[in-house]
Chain A
Amino acid sequence: MLEPGKHLVLGNVACAEGAIRAGLGFFAGYPITPASEISHHIALELPKEGGIFMQMEDEIASIASIIGASWAGAKSMTATSGPGYDLMQENIGYAHMTETPLVLVNVQRSGPSTGQSTDPSQQDIYAAKYGAHGDYEVIAISPWSVQEMFDLTVRAFNLAETYRTPVMLMSDGLIGHIEEKLVIPEEVEIVNRKKPTSLESTPWGTDKPSGVPEMPAFGEGHRLLVTGSTHQPNGVRNFSPEYHQRIVYRIRDKILNAEPVIRDIHKVEMDDAKVAILSFGASARPSVEAVEEARKEGIKAGLFRLKTIWPFPEEPVRELAEQVDAIIVVEMNTGKLVKEVQRVVEGETKVVSLAKVGGVLPFSREVLEVIRRELQ
């Protein structure tokens, strides 16, 4: 591990450093650009801390093995990009159904298919939310800098452990592959999963309909019945409508009800803003300059950056709609998050899409042009 203090490192290295500090015990991955450096750094550093690194035969095995390790008691993680993320979807659904904490880093690249294999995109944000079949709610967070690759990786582990759920760190090829300053603190805040104190535990049930059950590990005498089939609180398969409704609503509501706590929004010049740039991850970076330039021209622009994409912060975005005359949604895809914003805003204010594909960031002048146009 790097010493606490200032460093100049790759985003993917910062992610690996954050993971090890958060208590990573088992990592499995499969080579893929632009995520591979996460594996490289973890393969080098994790064994020094007593953790296990494995390179698996494919991405399906990567996520399967980290789920197995999570139930063996490890904080576990994998990292991939588009094609690998597609392969993982079935087991992402399994992890939600079994309420398995894990961290999945998607260093997004430009698709569909092999696409621009080394270039960044933000095309997978709906794959993060809706990728697997069935109903579940996902936690997805989005770093915009090397520093946040570190900070949000730590947070991803803490959220996974708190809510006993997979957490998606939705990075991209730009953030993964740039070198920037990283400040590693002396200590990071770490959350560990709650373990049951009695062998009579119900690892898939709580008194509250939206609660998070305590999680035992294999070998602790609980005689666990972990299954992706619809199950009772004790794990016994039961396909009745009652049990299916109960578990599907609980794994949904434990995330949705916690949205105000999971929520993380970075605001720049938003206090008196009349035009808001709503963005996330790498595509939010040029918007800072656009906001500065607009302010010089007397335009009250601000940046409203989502560090948490899912669950979507509906209430703050509704309040934003009441404050501003226009919301410009800047993203690196053909216009995805803008649909969620439109759904939430319900016509309260004008919602404009500045979406760009091609593996390149929207330029600040492009953002500025849209700001000017919308204020005319």
Chain B
Amino acid sequence: MKNLYYFRDKYVRSQPSAFCPGCGGGIILNCFLRAIDDLGLDQDKILAVSGIGCTAWIPSPNFNGDTLHTTHGRAIAFATGAKAYNPDMTTVVFTGDGDGAGIGGNHLIHAARRNIDLTVILVNNMSYAMTGGQIAPTTMHGETTVTSPYGNPEFPFDITKLVKAAGASYVARWSNYHVIELTNSIKEAIQHKGFSFIEVMSQCPTQQRRIFNLRGPLESLPPRILDMFKEGTFVRGRPEKGNYVYAVPKGDVMDTLNAVQGLGDPGIVDHMGFGQVVKIDGDAEALRDKLDKIPEVKYVADHVEGKVELGLFEKYERPELTESLREIIRKARGEL
């Protein structure tokens, strides 16, 4: 078992971390380093490309290999040129949700369409975090940010489904709670010949406090947000059993908690779709009948409602761009 010092000494430049305490960036760097180590890749043959924003700083300067830290939104376009010219480099793009799906959305869908052999890790913290927590194309409807002080009037992209529709031949979504699955997914994505895309839901204690309306000391937030990623997601192909429900409060969540006492072991949890709710164990249908009659309960949600679907969304083979470009050279030379 390799310890953290092994990964730090082998793959990380000796830099003080620029991340806020509790940032998700370090977890993703960790998963990436374990993935390339497991695959036995030569770190001098890995190019990490990034744009602008917190995510861009995951590889640059941390990753001790070739890095290309570019302009806002353009990392995939830079990476396309580098990979097309030198296909021998394992080329991985780190981009945020604002960087990759906002300003750089056009490059993202076109790279997926081209099926160029890049691995794109899109770190989704549901806001423009570095610039102060503004609404992003991934911020959910109604959420509060510095540029949506009355609630977000817009609706977010489902980036994973967008990239799948654009033709990506490997698409997955995980969260920072799911580190084993994420590490395995990065390995699979790097090995996949073609455009591979992983969306990673990541915690940002600095900005998500406002977005998710969380109270309490800063150091309590990272584990709470990670718990929320666990609570607020379900994995494709292995859905959790519906042996619990969520009671969405009408007013104060404590009133709802008190009102449902006596039903199966109720407790307050943070839910991504509904905020603070009361989770109650037991048979879903039976609970729903009882909860519907309690005035402090506004709504009863089941085990998948309002949650984010994780897992592998797409994996198939089709002609890859850098190989097609080499084929064009052979055609032009009359060798084919």
A residues engaging B (CB < 8 A)?
25-26, 28, 44, 47-48, 50-54, 56-58, 60-61, 64-74, 76, 90-91, 94, 217-229, 235-237
Whether B61 pairs with A225 at a CB distance below 8 angstroms is yes
Can you list 8 A-B contacts with CB-CB less than 8 angstroms, sorted by A residue number? A25-B85, A54-B81, A54-B84, A74-B85, A94-B71, A225-B61, A227-B67, A237-B61
Chain A proximity mask over B28-65: 1 for CB below 8 Å, otherwise 0: 00000000000000011101010000000000110011
**Distance A58 CA – B109 CA, assembled complex (angstroms):** 13
Rounded to whole angstroms, the CA-CA distance of A217 and B78 in the bound complex is 14
Contact A71 B332, CB 8 Å, known A60-B77, A218-B86, A225-B60: no
Residue of B nearest to A229 (CB): B69
Q: A50-B329, A60-B74, A237-B61 in contact; A69/B66 too (CB < 8 A)? A: no
- Tell me which of A65, A91, A236 contacts B71 (CB under 8 A): A91
B252 partner residues in chain A, CB cutoff 8 A: none
> Which one, A68, A221, A224, contacts B81 given CB within 8 A?
A68
Which residue of A54, A57, A68, A225 contacts B67 across the interface (Cβ within 8 Å)?
A: A225
Q: How far is the CA of A58 from the CA of B49 in the complex (A)?
A: 19
**Which residues of B are found within 8 Å of A60, using beta-carbon distances?**
74, 77
Q: Which residues of B77-131 are within 8 A (CB) of A?
A: 77-86, 88-89, 106-107, 110
Contact partners of B333 in chain A: CB under 8 A: 47-48
Is the CB–CB distance between B81 and A219 below 8 Å? no
Main SS of the interface on chain A? mixed
Known: A52-B329, A69-B84, A72-B81. 9 other contacts (CB 8 A): A26-B84, A57-B106, A65-B77, A67-B70, A73-B86, A217-B86, A219-B47, A223-B66, A235-B61
Contact between chains at A57 and B107 (CB < 8 Å): yes
How far is A64 from B82 in the complex, measured between Cα atoms in Å? Answer: 10
Question: What's the Cα separation between A73 and B86 when bound, in Å?
Answer: 8
* In the complex, B331 has a CB within 8 A of chain A: yes
Whether B71 contacts A90 by the Cβ 8 Å rule is: yes
Instruction: Report A76 CB to chain B, min CB distance, Å.
Output: 7
Instruction: Looking at the assembled complex, report how far the CB atom of A47 sits from the nearest CB atom of chain B, in whole angstroms.
Output: 4
Contact indicator A219/B44 (Cβ below 8 Å): yes
The answer to the question of B328 belonging to the interface, with a C-beta cut-off of 8 Å to chain A, is yes
| Nearest A residue to B116, CB-CB | A54
A residues less than 8 Å from B332 (CB atoms): 44, 47-48
Given contacts A47-B332, A57-B106, A61-B110, contact A68 B82 (CB under 8 A): yes
Q: Which of A26, A64, A90, A221 has the most CB of B within 10 A?
A: A64
Q: B residues bordering A, Cβ < 8 Å?
A: 15, 43-45, 47, 49, 60-61, 64-71, 74, 77-86, 88-89, 106-107, 110, 325, 328-329, 331-333
- CB pair A64–B86 under 8 Å, yes or no, is no
Residues of chain B with a CB closer than 8 A to A47's CB: 328-329, 331-333
CA distance A60 to B106 in the complex (A): 10
> Shortest beta-carbon distance, B82 to chain A, in Å?
4
Q: Which residue on chain B has the smallest CB distance to residue A66?
A: B81
Q: How far is the CA of A222 from the CA of B106 in the complex (A)?
A: 31
B137 to chain A, nearest CB (A): 18
The residue from A54, A71, A223 contacting B82, defined by CB atoms under 8 A apart = A71
- In the bound complex, CA of A237 to CA of B57 (Å): 11
Which of B60, B61, B69, B89 interacts with A218 by CB under 8 Å? B89
Instruction: Decide: A67 near B60, CB < 8 A? Known: A57-B106, A90-B71, A222-B66.
Output: no
A219 near B89: Cβ-Cβ < 8 Å: yes
Which chain A residues lie closer than 8 Å to B110 at the CB level? 56-57, 61
Q: A219 near B88 (CB under 8 angstroms)?
A: yes
Nearest CB on A from B104, distance (A): 9
Smallest CB gap from B107: residue in A: A61
Find the residue from A73, A218, A220 having the highest chain B CB count within 10 A. A218
Shortest CB-to-CB span from B9 to chain A, Å, is 14
Q: Is the CB of A218 within 8 A of B82?
A: yes
| Bound form: Cα–Cα A217–B44 in Å | 11
Shortest Cβ gap from B39 to chain A (Å): 17
Kindly provide the distance from the CB of A103 to the nearest chain B CB, expressed in whole angstroms.
14
Contact indicator B81/A228 (Cβ below 8 Å): no
Interface residue from A44, A52, A220, A223 paired with B325 (Cβ < 8 Å): A52
Query: Looking across the interface, which residue of chain A has its beta carbon closest to that of B82?
Result: A68
CA distance A232 to B80 in the complex (A): 26
Quick check: B84 and A52 within 8 Å, CB to CB? Answer: yes
A91 x B85 contact (CB < 8 A): no
B78 touches A65 (CB 8 A): yes
Report the minimal beta-carbon distance from B255 to chain A, rounded to whole angstroms.
50
The answer for the CA separation of A136 and B71 in the assembled complex, in Å, is 17
Partner of A64, one of B81, B88, B89: B81
Q: Are B60 and A227 in contact (CB under 8 A)?
A: yes
Q: Taking the nearest CB of chain A, how far is it from the CB of B44, in angstroms?
A: 5
Contacts of A225 in B (CB 8 A): 60-61, 67, 69
Report the separation of the CA atoms of residues A187 and B10 in the bound assembly, to the nearest whole angstrom: 48
| Chain B residue, CB-CB nearest to A199 | B44
For B82, the chain A residues whose CB sits under 8 A away are 68-69, 71-72, 218
* The residue from B61, B65, B71, B106 contacting A58, defined by CB atoms under 8 A apart: B106
Which of B64, B67, B77, B89 gathers the greatest number of chain A CB atoms within 10 Å?
A: B77
